[in-house]
Structure 1
């Protein structure tokens, strides 16, 4: 069989973290999607998934402090884009992490429309990407 039968995707490598604080998850709203997501973003060429996560958290939540030693790698998942995404041939490769927030002394970044803490119960009915609600329940 030839390669012509295989789908052609543009792969987007992303890193994100479920951040939890006293039994609640910190979720954010960005300007690209009208829903709640975990903080994170694209991995730049030459960056490791962890380095990208640290950079993205610093950009989105300046001053955020995590409990030392609490960052855990959870795994990798693939996901096609939402129907309204600009590149219909995209495929996302997510590197998922979790960490505990040491305190809420971070500042709001213009990269985000907003952020909030949610209990696992409060995530029911929120507009979130597939699998995000399960990720919240697993972490808190």
Structure 2
């Protein structure tokens, strides 16, 4: 019988989000009930769940939208800090929401207060600095047709 050595390897927190925009290029942000800053739709990747499956699930749970996101835009390694473990965050391209899709958005009242379309400047004011950097990188990655690798929200490769 062989032991699975991978069970002894370090574990990392993982999150997945989605970049959704309107036809004016504004980014969709959500306002959580449990923290002061806005977020992009998404959340924690559960055990045994792929990051892509997590985004699909979160879009349904958070916005009531059944969408299939497109390609990966950003991978961001976030270092540990006193109140949080290190993590790996991914952002997928959710595309451009039509007006009729946006009208179907339904928020879980216990989790989200509101949602809003935001310009890059408005997003920078509503998001944490780290997430603002990640969202700006996702917008650029979408426009350039690349995947951006970040560390703590800063471009590495």
Q: Which runs of 5+ in 1 are unaligned?
A: 1-8
Displacement, 1:137? 4.5
Length, aligned pairs only: 125
Q: Deviations over 1:11-56 (max 9, x none)?
A: 2111111111111110011133211111101111111111011001
Q: CA RMSD in A?
A: 2.5
The answer to whether the 8 Å contact 1:18/1:26 transfers is yes
Q: How does 1:51-130 map to 2 (within 5 A)?
A: 51-62=53-64, 64=65, 66=67, 71-80=70-79, 88-100=83-95, 101-102=97-98, 103-104=101-102, 105-110=104-109, 111-130=111-130
TM-score in terms of structure 1 length: 0.74
Cα distance in 2 for residues equivalent to 1:92 and 1:32: 20
- Unaligned 5+ runs, structure 2: 1-9, 144-157
> Could you tell me which residue of structure 1 aligns to residue 12 of structure 2?
11
Distance 1:75 1:124, change over 3 A: closer
TM-score by length of 2: 0.67
Give the number of the structure whose residues are more often helix, by fraction: 2
Runs of 4 or more, structure 1, over 4 Å off, are: none
Range 72-81 or range 45-54, more displaced: 72-81
